[in-house]
Every structure is written in structure tokens, then in C-alpha cells.
Amino acid sequence: MENKLIDLVNITKYFDGEMVIDDLNLSIKENSFVTLLGPSGCGKTTTLRMIGGFLIPDKGQVFFDGKDITHLPPEKRQLNTVFQKYALFPHMNVADNIAFGLKIKKKSKSYIDDKIKYALKLVNLEGYEKRDINALSGGQQQRIAIARAIVNEPKLLLLDEPLGALDLKLRQEMQYELIRLKNELGITFIYVTHDQEEALTMSDTIVVMNQGYIQQMGTPEQIYNEPENAFVATFIGDSNIVDGIMIDDYVVEIVGKKFKCVDAGFGKNKPVDIVIRPEDVIIVEPNDEKAILHGRMTHVIFKGEMYEMLCVTDDGKEWLVHSTSLHEPGKEVGIYVAPENIQIMNKPTSEDEAAIDPIDDEAEE
């Protein structure tokens, strides 16, 4: 088992009397790529800033490598941050920006020069030493910001929506760059984003947050395939969320029809929430023996890699369907879902959980 590098214990934070983080506990293992994912205002940036030392929690403790750093100022922490708007020093050239931390630590000139060369090579900007910061593009500035952070050999790199200001193509490029950097440097990354695709692409652990709570923590596969509640399911990708009743172990009733599933232990005749991903809704011929529900196709949108379609079943429920094969609107169809693709979730019980609206206003920005 790897070491816990960061341990947040019972963290609570207020802004102007309003609670933004409520009793948060989070452990981050050494050498992992952890993404804090959530809509704006969910507390992800606040959490990152408390790890970075720019905010002090009102309650709780922050541990770094086993040491309590809750009240340690940022300059004394063995970690570095890459900010959303790069936050480079506009009065210095590229080399001076990268050298800033090393000069503060009074490293020798030859050591600093070597480090600058090494860092620029790592971010693919060799020969840029004397360039003016303001003459660089957004993507280049972000690379310099990363270079400026990593020359200090931090154990932990915090990244606060670093790709937020870049255009889509560049963003995708930089995602692969970051994964490569992470593997080459062998340090821990904590990454904050509201972009679920970014989170799924890069992380080995995703922490989904909403309204100051952690909704779910797990690998991208776990988060996507086994969302723990309706918020996570809606925030990560598209999904069909329906009410159901757990009749018995391995049998669930959805819109009056019995489906086989792989979950057990919910009890008998218990109301549950059910998530079915659109790509798991299989369209078959209406007379196919596998067909459990029957309906009619209503809309089709061509999305490039697949068709996005809507199917209205006899009971009036709309199903979102993703498939590479086209089913024309008006066509009578049958619907089949494999047991392993039916994800059963408990209905929210406490008031706090009920307050979690499945909103994804920013998710697809």
C-alpha cells in the first residue's frame, strides 16, 4: 500500500458566513493523479487552495506526508501550484520566471541554468529562455507555468483548471502532455476541473464534488460505470435516470417491467434510482425475444462518432440512446438492457443528499 501524501481531516470552510466545505475528509495517495471534479461553486478550488496554503480551513486539519501543515504559509510547503490564469511574472522573461523559485532558494547559477534547460525541454519549449512572457500564446504560457513549478521538485503539483482558458484542440493536446509529464516526473498531481472528459482522460482517481461534499471517489471506470447517486450519474456523461423498485435480489422493476440485474442486498420491494447509460440501451426488432420494452423512435442527431436518438416507450418515458447504427424516427422498436448495465442506486435518504440536484449546467461548457 502506498503512502498517504495528503490527508484532509474534517475540513470545514466558510465564506462570509456561508459554508462552502462541510466536514470534508479526503486522502490522496503518493504518486497518483487525482482530479477534483464538480460544477462551479462545489468547493473544489477552495479545497485545492487549502492544500496550497492560500486559504486556512475554519475547522479540521491538513496533513502533508504525515505532518500537520494546516497553518503553514504557502512558501513553506513542499508543493507547487499551477494557476488557472498562469499567474506568470509579466516583468520577467521566460528564464527568470522559471528561475524565480530557485533564486529564492539561493541555488547556484549553473544549477539554475541546468534546471531551466531541463524544464523547457520537458514542456517542449527549448530555446525560449529569453522570450518575453507577454509574447507567448496561452498554451505556451501554461507550459511555462508548469515548468516554473516543477523546477522546484515538489512532491505534489496542484493544478487549478490550468487548461480552462485554452481552446478545445490545444486542451486535448495538453491533457496528453500532462499525463506524460506526470509519468516522467513521478510526482503526485491534484487537478481541479469542471470538465468531466478531462477528468476521465487524465486521472487515476476522480473525486466528484458538489455543494461542499464529496459525492463519490473512485477510478474513472467506477465513476462512469457505477455512479453512486443521481448527481454523479448526470454530471459524468449522459444517462437515463429512472425510478425503479428492487423486487428482490437480482430483479428490478422499471416502468412496470421486470429486468434482470446484478445487484443484491437492497432488500425487497425497495424504491431505488436506476442509471442506464445511453450506449447501453440496445435497440432490437420489436418482435425480438430479448425486447423488454417497446416504443417508437422520435429523434435522431448525428454526433460524428455515433447517433444520438430518442425513443419513447409505450408508457410515455423517453430514453436517450447512443448507437453507431441508425434507427429512423417513426420506427417501432424493442429495447433491451443487459443486466450488468443496469446500475442501481439508493434513493437519497438524508436531507443533505436530497438537496443535491442533478445539475450539469457547466459540465459541457
Partner 1 sequence: MNSKSRNKLIAAPYTIWMVGFIIIPLIFVVYYGLTNDKNVFTLDNVISFFNPIHFRSFLKAFKLAFISTLICIILAYPIALIFRNSKTKKSSFIVYIFILPMWMNGLLRIYAWLTLIEKKGVINLILTYLKLPNINIVNTETAIILGMVYDFLPFMILPLYNSLMKINDDTLNGARDLGANELQVFTRVIFPLSIPGMVSGITMVFIPSLTTVAISFMLGGGLYLLIGNVIEQEFLTTSNWHLGSGLSLVLIIFIFVVMGITNKWTDKDEDSIII
The contact set with partner 1 (CB under 8 A) reads 52-54, 73-75, 80-81, 83-85, 87-91, 100-101, 104-105, 145, 148-149, 152
CB 230 within 8 A of CB 273: yes
Q: Kindly state the smallest distance separating residue 43's Cβ from partner 1, in Å.
A: 18
d(CA 273, CA 238): 15
CB 180 within 8 A of CB 173: no
Q: Kindly state the smallest distance separating residue 33's Cβ from partner 1, in Å.
A: 20
Nearer to partner 1, 149 or 333 (CB): 149
Q: Kindly state the smallest distance separating residue 54's Cβ from partner 1, in Å.
A: 5
Q: Kindly state the smallest distance separating residue 115's Cβ from partner 1, in Å.
A: 13
Q: Kindly state the smallest distance separating residue 40's Cβ from partner 1, in Å.
A: 17
Dihedral angle, C-alpha 98, 102, 103, 105, nearest 10 °: 160
d(CA 314, CA 295): 5
Phi-psi region for residue 210, left (φ > 0), alpha (ψ -120 to 50) or beta? beta
Nearer to partner 1, 29 or 85 (CB): 85
Q: Is 30 exposed, middle or buried (0-12, 13-18, 19+ CB in 10 A)?
A: middle
Nearer to partner 1, 105 or 290 (CB): 105
Q: Measuring CA to CA, which residue among 254, 48, 235, 54 is closest to residue 158?
A: 48
Nearer to partner 1, 5 or 337 (CB): 5
Write out the DSSP string of 2-20. Answer: PPEEEEEEEEEEEETTEEE
Nearer to partner 1, 59 or 85 (CB): 85
Q: Kindly state the smallest distance separating residue 98's Cβ from partner 1, in Å.
A: 10
